[in-house]
Structure 1
Amino acid sequence: MFRGVHNLSVDTKGRVKIPTHHQAQINEIYSGKMVLSIHPDDEFLLLYPLKDWQILEEKISALPSLNIHTKRLKRKLIGHATDCELDRVARILIPSTLKHYAHIDKKIIMSGQGHNFELWDENTWHKQFDSLDTLSKQIQIPIELAQLLL
């Protein structure tokens, strides 16, 4: 499971180093093979181990192909998916099209989400984080979520 928030830098070639804490897991369990794609609704990137990505891709492929929401999801999520592999110093390359989509420049936030990571431009992350806090104060917490927090 991937957990934690990490402040990282993107080098001049568009590479980012995976935090040491996650390197062994990615290399040992997933052979360093990952998939990077855009999020279909927000301006950030998703990074999945290849095995978990394949499970997600199969679920999406099983959806009705003529449904407009399925088409949109496939075109955005699967259409932008890029295979990547950790290099010898545990970096992945972020293609320029994906960097552009997520407005990534030099500083990013990598947030562990259990089975995957989110990669955010640092400024966008802080704006989104503040926005979520504001919105969550305006809406009552669902009972299922409140029970988890006990």
Structure 2
Amino acid sequence: MFRGASAINLDAKGRIAIPMRYRDSLHAEHGGKLVITVDIQSSCLLLYPIHEWTKIEAKLMLLSDTQPTQRALKRMLLGYAHEIELDGNGRLLLPLPLRQYANLDKQAMLVGQLNKFELWDEQAWQSEIAASQQTIRQEDLAADARLADFSL
């Protein structure tokens, strides 16, 4: 499981180094293979270990090719999806169209989300965190049974 936010850098070739704490499990459990695609609700990228991505593909297979919203969802997630592999130094090469989608330049944030990572431009991540804090402050967490335990 992936958790925590890590500040990382993109090199001149568009590569990122995965933090050491994740590398062993990515190699052992997934052969160092991941799939990267766009997040359809935010300007960030999603990095799925290959075995987690197969679960996403199974769900996408159930969607309609004729219903416009379902077709658009498939088009975005699958159209941008690239299989990538950790190199010997624990780096991933990010395809240019994906870097452009997420406005990635030099400084980025890799954020663990249990079964996947989000990859954000650092400034966009700071804005997202501020917006998330505002949303949480405005919400009555006790009113939603799934969130009640988080009212610490």
Question: Does TM, normalized by the shorter one, top 0.5?
Answer: yes
Deviation at 1:134, TM superposition (A): 1.1
Unmatched 5+ residue regions in structure 1?
none
2:63·2:71 contact (CA, 8 Å) conserved in 1?
A: no
Shift of the alpha carbon at 1:94?
0.8
CA distance in 2, matches of 1:94, 1:54: 20
Find the counterpart in structure 2 of residue 147 from structure 1.
Answer: 149
Cα deviation 1:2-36 (Å, max 9, x = unaligned): 11110000000000000000000000110001001
For the pair 1:95 / 2:127, whether they are aligned, the reply is no
Q: Where do 1:1-150 residues align within 5 Å?
A: 1-141=1-141, 142-148=144-150
Kept after mapping to 1: 8 A contact 2:110/2:120: yes
CA distance in 1, matches of 2:126, 2:12: 23
Q: Which moved more, 1:92-101 or 1:139-148?
A: 139-148
Q: In structure 2, what is the Cα distance between the partners aligned to 1:130 and 1:148?
A: 18
- Quote the RMSD (CA, aligned, Å): 1.2
Counterpart residue type for residue 145 of structure 1: L
CA distance in 2, matches of 1:139, 1:74: 32
Please report the TM-score for the alignment, with normalisation by the length of structure 1: 0.95
Post-superposition CA distance 1:39-88 (Å, at most 9, x none): 01210000001111011111111123322221121111111001100001
